[in-house]
Amino acid sequence: MSDILKAVHETATDLYESGVMDKITFREIEALCIPKKRTFTALEIKNLRETKHLSQRVLAALLSVGPSTVQQWEMGHKKPSAPAAKLLDLLDRKGVEALV
């Protein structure tokens, strides 16, 4: 979340908790603060894996997919599912420790 979105979310939380903002408005603001769904190209997946010093087999194990699935992603034959893309994003932002 960007610094601006963090500030907006904190302000909305304070307003909601103090009773100035209604629940519906607060929930709408919260929804706007959720990061956009990230997509990965084949090259981005391969670069991410190599940057984190992971083999295809180890990345597959971390994401609970088969090694051939990672290979197909990296060749551009398949795209990661939404949950797998979320885990790839988490790996990119937080590192391997977030997945173990």
Q: Per residue of the chain (100 residues), what is the pLDDT tens digit?
A: 678 888 999 999 999 999 999 999 999 998 888 877 889 999 999 999 999 999 999 999 999 999 999 999 999 999 999 999 999 999 999 999 999 8
Give dist(CA 50, CA 68) in Å, integer: 16
Question: What pLDDT, on a 0 to 100 scale, did the predictor assign at position 94?
Answer: 93
**Cβ neighbours for 44, distance < 8 A, ≥ 6 positions apart:** none
- What are the structure tokens assigned to 71, written together? 């290979």
Report which of 14, 92, 17 is spatially closest to residue 48, judged by C-alpha positions. Answer: 92
Check whether domain 42-99 has CATH 1.10.1660.10, yes or no: no
Give the residue extent of every domain in the chain. 3-33, 42-99
Give dist(CA 48, CA 44) in Å, integer: 6
